[in-house]
Amino acid sequence: MANYKSCELQSNAGIFFSWQLNRREARLLSDTLTKELRQYGIAEKLRALRLRKKMGLVELGRHTGLSAAMLSKIERGKLFPTLPTLVRVALVFSVGLEYFFSDERKRQVIGIVRRGERKRFPERPDGKDISFFFESLDFAAVERKLNAYYAEFRPLPAGKERLHHHAGVEFLSVLRGKLEMRIATQEHALGTGDSIYFDSSLPHSYRRISHSPCSAIVIAVP
């Protein structure tokens, strides 16, 4: 009888110990999953989608069939949504599930270009009647929605500059010197601190008109 009781106690102790281990493993697994899920920034992505559409939590709840309280917890990172929940949200905003599970660390959404890394290129490779040299300021970024350049302009006799055009719009801000821009049939003189925005599908050209160096920041959006 004593042996039976001893075996029973040992068995119960073994079950309790095993249960404790399972709880510890579950907690560790939960911590690991939480850490990994947070790296995808699901909460921030959901909030960004909602604010982009200027939609409140109550309105989003009506579209998804989810409560505003649950959506609020998801946005604050207090609750991780299930896949069906994410599917409902994705359908409202016309995005795929991959939007929520793309790893921002691998997208290189931040691109830094050091001054010493920039390469200088002439306006045209032939080297004749060059009106400016340019350096890309954002070549390190991927999925760019614009192109930013630092440009240094050279003096040219009037009529030597060449008109060019490209799709989209362009913004130029003069850092120093004086610049003459021709856009279609109009001419515009710009000085230090002046800026201009224009439709770059119109034929346009640049010409330095100051004796001192002239440079500018140019942003082109296709």
Residue 138 and residue 118 in contact, taking contact as beta carbons nearer than 8 Å: no
Closest CA to 134 of 219, 211, 209, 196: 219
- The answer to whether residue 177 sits within a structural domain is yes
Nearest 5°: phi and psi at 196? -145, 140
What's the pTM?
Answer: 0.55
Residue 133 and residue 156 in contact, taking contact as beta carbons nearer than 8 Å: no
- List of the chain residues with pLDDT < 70: 1-30, 103-109, 127, 143
- At how many degrees (to 10) do helices 42-52 and 83-93 cross? 30
- The answer to whether residue 215 sits within a structural domain is yes
**Measured distance CA(88)–CA(80) in Å, rounded:** 14
- The answer to whether residue 110 sits within a structural domain is no
**DSSP string over 95-113:** --THHHHS-HHHHT-----
Residue type, 172: L
| Residues 10, 61 share a domain | no
pLDDT at 4: 45
| Residues 167, 153 share a domain | yes
| Residues 67, 48 share a domain | yes
